[in-house]
Chain A
Amino acid sequence: MSVNFLISQAKNIQIVIDQNAAEIEALDQNIGDGDHIFNVQRGLKLVVELEDDIKNLPLQKGLNMIAMKVLSGIGGSSGALFGTFFMSMAKTPDLDKDIDFKKACEMVITGINAMKERGKADVGEKTMMDVLIPVSEKLNELKSGNTDMKEGLSEITKIAEDRMLATKDMLATKGRASFLGERAKGHIDPGARSSQLIIDTICKSLINK
C-alpha cells in the first residue's frame, strides 16, 4: 500500500459510486434524509483532488492529510466515520517500512475498529458497520492464515455483499433510520450499500491485478 495506491483506488471507487449514486440516494430517502450519497461523493472528489499535494509523501503523512480533508470537508456521519478510519490507519506502527498484504490488513482492521468505537455501533444495527465489521474479522483471519490472497479477497466481496443485503430485514437502532422503528424494515441501509461497493471495488482491482 502506498499513497498512489490510495489515490488510484479513490478514482476507481469514485466511478463505481457515481454509477450507483441514484440507487444509494433512493435507499437513503426511504429510511434517512438523502444526504449520504452527496457526502460520499464530496469526500471522494476531495481525496482525488489531493493527488498533487500528497502523491510524493510518505504513507503516514498522506493518510493524515486524507484524514483531515475527509474530516473537514464532508460533514455528517460519513465525514466523522471515514475521517476516523484514515486517522487511525495512519497510527498503525511501522508505516515507514514496506507495506505487505499482512500489514495492509492490519491497517484496515485498525481503521474499522476506530470507526466502531466512534459510531458506537455494532453488527445488527442496520448501518455501514454491518458490512465493515465482518470484513474486518475476515481480514484478521486472512492476515494470520495461509489462504491465498486472491481467494481471500474474493471471499471478502461475498461477505460484504451478503451482509449488505442482510441489512434489508433489520430494524435500525443507530443513525437516522433508527427513528423509524418497524418502517425501516424492507430497505437496505444506504451506508451498508456504499461501503459494500467500496470494498468490492478495491478487492476486485486487487484480484484482477
Chain B
Amino acid sequence: MKKFINNVDDFLKESLNGFGKAHSEIIKVNFEPNFISRKTKTKEGKVSLISGGGSGHEPMHGGFVGHGMLDAACPGFVFSAPTPDQMQAAAEHVDSGAGVLFIVKNYSGDIMNFQMGAEMYSGKNDSIITNDDVAVEDSTFTTGRRGVAATVLVEKIVGSLAENGGSLEECKKLGEKVNKNSGTMGVAFTSCTVPAAGKPTFDIGNDEMEFGVGIHGEPGRKREKIQPSKTIVKNMLEAILDDLKPQKNEKTLLFVNGMGGTPLTELYLVYDDACEILKSKGIEITRSLVGNYCTSLEMQGASITLLKCDEEILKNWDAPVHTAAMRWGM
C-alpha cells in the first residue's frame, strides 16, 4: 500500500485536521464525536441539513458544508457509516429551531445509524434517503438501490431551498423529487485500497472493468473487457435512460463524476461522449457538473448521473453556494 499515512489509526483524524485548517474561513471540525459544521451559526428559522457517511468519498460530504448546501456533515471511518452520537451532536449544534433534515445514502449501515441518531435527537427532524444507482434493481423487499453521486445534487439543490427559507416539509419534498428524477451508473477500472485493509478491495485484470460498481468498490452488474469510451458511456447512459425515461427535449443536468483516480482530462472526454449520445436521443443538457465529487479513495473510474430538471430544480441549482468543494455566485 502506497499512501500518505503516518499511522493507520490516525488517518481520519489527521485528514480532518488538515481539512479544518485548509477551509477555516468556511467550516469548523469538531472532534469526539466527529462532525464538520459551518463556521457561522445557522440563522434563525433556517432548516438545517445534515449528511454523512463513511470517509473515503471526499469531498463528499464535508466539502459540501457551507452557505447554500449543508449545515453539518458526519464522517465515519473509511467506508463505514458514522455513529448515532455524531448525528445527535451535529443536530444539537446546528439546529436553529426550524428542524433538521438528514440526507442519507441508501446503505444499511448508514440507514441504521442515522435512524438511531434521529431517535436520540429530541428536536424536530426528518430524513431523505437517496437511491439513485440504476445498476442495482429496486425492490421493497431488499435493501434496494444504492445512494451514490446524485446525493451531491440533492445536497446542493435542497441546500439552496433551505437557505431561502424553505420549511422542513418543503425541503424533504424537493429532495425526494431530485432523487427520483436522477439516475446514476458507475464503472471502475481499478480497485481502491482501504487504509485499514492495506490491500486492494478487489482484484481486477489490466484489461477489465467493473460495470455498475458501487462507491466502496463493491461489485456491480458485471465484469467486462475494457472498451472504447464511447461504448462504455453508451452502455452507462442506456442503463440510466431505461430507468429515468426522460421525455424528448426534456431539460437535464449531466454530471460526470470521477471516482478519485481518473484525471479530469478523461472525465471531460466522457462528458463529450455523453453529450453526443444524449443529443442523438433528443435530450437537452441545460446544466453540467464535471469533477471528483463522490469518490472511492484512489479508484480509477467514473459515474454518470442524469437529473431531469424542472424550473424549481434549475432555480435552486443556480443559486449561490460557497463550500470547500463547490462555489459559485458568491
Chain A CB within 8 A of B197 CB:
yes
Find B216's partner among A68, A74, A79, A176 (CB 8 Å cutoff).
A176
Chain B CB within 8 A of A113 CB:
no
Chain B CB within 8 A of A39 CB:
yes
Interface pair B218/A174, CB less than 8 Å apart? no
Near B by CB (< 8 A), chain A positions 1-53 give 25, 29, 31-35, 38-39
Find A76's partner among B80, B133, B141, B220 (CB 8 Å cutoff).
B80
8 contacts between A and B (CB under 8 A): A29-B202, A33-B201, A35-B194, A76-B77, A80-B81, A80-B109, A118-B112, A178-B136
Interface pair A80/B84, CB less than 8 Å apart? yes
Interface pair B214/A35, CB less than 8 Å apart? no
Chain B CB within 8 A of A58 CB:
no
Interface pair B85/A71, CB less than 8 Å apart? yes
Stretch from A88-96, A139-147, A155-163, A179-187 that touches the partner? A179-187
Cα separation A71 to B82 with both chains bound (whole Å): 10
Interface pair B116/A76, CB less than 8 Å apart? no
Contacts A33-B216, A33-B218, A179-B218 given; indicate if A76 touches B109 (C-beta within 8 A): yes
Chain B CB within 8 A of A134 CB:
no
Chain A CB within 8 A of B79 CB:
yes
Chain A residues with Cβ below 8 Å from B78 are: 35
Chain A residues with Cβ below 8 Å from B77 are: 35, 38-39, 75-76
Chain A CB within 8 A of B33 CB:
yes
Find A77's partner among B82, B108, B220 (CB 8 Å cutoff).
B108
Binary contact track B94-138/A, C-beta < 8 Å → 1, others 0: 000000000000011100110110000000000000000101110
Interface pair A75/B76, CB less than 8 Å apart? yes
Contacts A74-B83, A178-B143 given; indicate if A34 touches B107 (C-beta within 8 A): no
Interface pair A173/B142, CB less than 8 Å apart? yes
- B interface with A by C-beta (< 8 Å): 33, 54, 76-86, 107-109, 112-113, 115-116, 133, 135-137, 139, 141-144, 146, 194, 196-197, 201-202, 214, 216-220
Find B81's partner among A75, A173, A174 (CB 8 Å cutoff).
A75
Near B by CB (< 8 A), chain A positions 53-99 give 68, 71-81, 83-84
Cα separation A81 to B109 with both chains bound (whole Å): 9
Find B196's partner among A38, A119, A175 (CB 8 Å cutoff).
A38
Interface pair A76/B76, CB less than 8 Å apart? yes
Contacts A33-B217, A76-B109, A80-B116 given; indicate if A173 touches B141 (C-beta within 8 A): yes
Cα separation A173 to B144 with both chains bound (whole Å): 8
**Minimal beta-carbon separation of B196 from chain A (angstroms):** 5
Interface pair B112/A80, CB less than 8 Å apart? yes
Cα separation A52 to B109 with both chains bound (whole Å): 30
Cα separation A60 to B291 with both chains bound (whole Å): 51
Contacts A72-B33, A80-B113, A181-B137 given; indicate if A176 touches B80 (C-beta within 8 A): no
Identify 6 new A-B residue pairs, CB closer than 8 A, beyond the known A31-B218, A118-B116.
Answer: A33-B214, A68-B85, A74-B83, A75-B81, A83-B84, A174-B143
**Minimal beta-carbon separation of A200 from chain B (angstroms):** 25
Cα separation A72 to B81 with both chains bound (whole Å): 11
**Minimal beta-carbon separation of B166 from chain A (angstroms):** 30
Interface of chain A: mostly helix, strand, loop or mixed: helix
Cα separation A78 to B86 with both chains bound (whole Å): 16
**Minimal beta-carbon separation of A156 from chain B (angstroms):** 26
Most buried by B among A38, A39, A84, A174: A38
Interface pair B108/A35, CB less than 8 Å apart? no
Interface pair A72/B201, CB less than 8 Å apart? no
Cα separation A31 to B108 with both chains bound (whole Å): 14
Cα separation A79 to B201 with both chains bound (whole Å): 21
Find A79's partner among B83, B141, B214 (CB 8 Å cutoff).
B83
Chain A residues with Cβ below 8 Å from B107 are: 176
Most buried by B among A76, A81, A84: A76
Chain A residues with Cβ below 8 Å from B143 are: 173-176, 178-179
Cα separation A108 to B267 with both chains bound (whole Å): 52
Chain B residues with Cβ below 8 Å from A79 are: 80-81, 83, 109, 113
Output the nearest chain B residue to A68 by Cβ-Cβ distance. Answer: B85
Contacts A39-B80, A77-B81, A173-B143 given; indicate if A183 touches B109 (C-beta within 8 A): no
Chain A residues with Cβ below 8 Å from B137 are: 181
Output the nearest chain A residue to B78 by Cβ-Cβ distance. Answer: A35
Chain B residues with Cβ below 8 Å from A68 are: 85
Chain A residues with Cβ below 8 Å from B133 are: 179
Interface pair B112/A119, CB less than 8 Å apart? yes
Binary contact track A166-201/B, C-beta < 8 Å → 1, others 0: 000000011110111101000000000000000000
Find A72's partner among B84, B135, B146 (CB 8 Å cutoff).
B84
Output the nearest chain A residue to B215 by Cβ-Cβ distance. Answer: A33
Chain B residues with Cβ below 8 Å from A39 are: 77, 80
Chain A residues with Cβ below 8 Å from B86 are: 72
Find B109's partner among A31, A34, A75, A180 (CB 8 Å cutoff).
A75
Find B113's partner among A31, A35, A75 (CB 8 Å cutoff).
A75
